[in-house]
Amino acid sequence: MDAIQQQLQLRLKEHGLELNELQLEQFELYFQDLVAWNEKMNLTGITEREQVYTKHFYDSVSLAFYTDISKVQKLADIGSGAGFPGLPLKICFPHLKITIVDSLNKRIGFLQHVVDRLGLTDVELIHGRAEELGRKEGYRDSYDLVTARAVAKLAVLNEFCLPFVRKGGFFAAMKGGDPREEMKEAEFSFNQLKGRVKAVHPFQLPVEESERHIILVQKFDKTPYKYPRKPGTPMKTPLV
C-alpha cells in the first residue's frame, strides 16, 4: 500500500468505512484501466493518480456518508460515464446489486472490462436511454437507491431517475456548487414524479476543498404512467 492508497483508506475510515487489501487493489486496477482506456476514448479529464483517487473514488463513495448503504440492496446509477459513483460504491459494498445505465456503448465496453478485471458480481451494465428503461418492468419502481453524478440539471434528472426508484426509496443527486436555484426550478418535477426532498448535505472534498452537495429525494408514490416521456424530451423541455 502506498501513500495515496493509505490516504483513501484513512479518509474513508473517518466515516466508518474500512477498506481491505482486495478493495484497495480493485481501486488501483480501476485507476490503471481508466487511464489506459482514456487514451483511446474520452472517459475523464482527470487522470493524475491522486486526483482520480480524490475527485472520482472518494467523491463517489461520499454518498455512503449520508445514506445507510448497508440497508440498500438494489442500486441504479444513471448516466454513469466512467462508472462513477456506481463502481466505487460496489467495491466498498460488495453486497450491492447494481445496475449501470449509459447511452454510449463504448463506455459500457470499458465498464464491462473493469467489472471483469476486478471480479465484481451482481453488476448489470446497460447500453440504453434512461427514458426507455424507466418504463420497463423490473426497472420501473424497483430500486432502493438511484443516483446520478454530474449528469444534468435537477429538473431533468428527476425524470431520468425517479421512475427507477421504488415507493419509499431514494434518489440521490450528487452535485457540485450551491444547488438552491436548481432545486427551486425542479419543484414542479418533484411533484409530478412523486418525490420529496428529505435532506441536502453540503461537504467539501479533501485538500482542494471543492464544494459538493448530495440532495436526497424520497419517492412517496409510484411513477405516473405518462413519465418518463420520450427519449430526448426531458432535456429539450424539462418539467419546470
Binding residues for S-adenosyl-L-methionine: 79, 84, 130-131, 149
C-alpha cell at 81: 460515464
Please report the DSSP string for 160-191 in residue order.
Answer: HHGGGEEEEEEEEEEESS--HHHHHHTHHHHH
Binding site listing? 79, 84, 130-131, 149
d(CA 215, CA 170): 10
Best CA proximity match to 128, nearest among 239, 231, 229:
231
Listed in sequence order, the residues at least 6 apart from 121 whose beta carbon sits closer than 8 Å to its beta carbon are: none
Q: Which residue has the cell 434528472?
A: 157
C-alpha cell at 187: 419543484
| Radius of gyration of the chain, Cα coordinates, nearest whole angstrom | 17
Best CA proximity match to 61, nearest among 205, 180, 161:
205
d(CA 238, CA 155): 6
d(CA 84, CA 147): 10
A 10 A CB-CB count for 6 gives 11
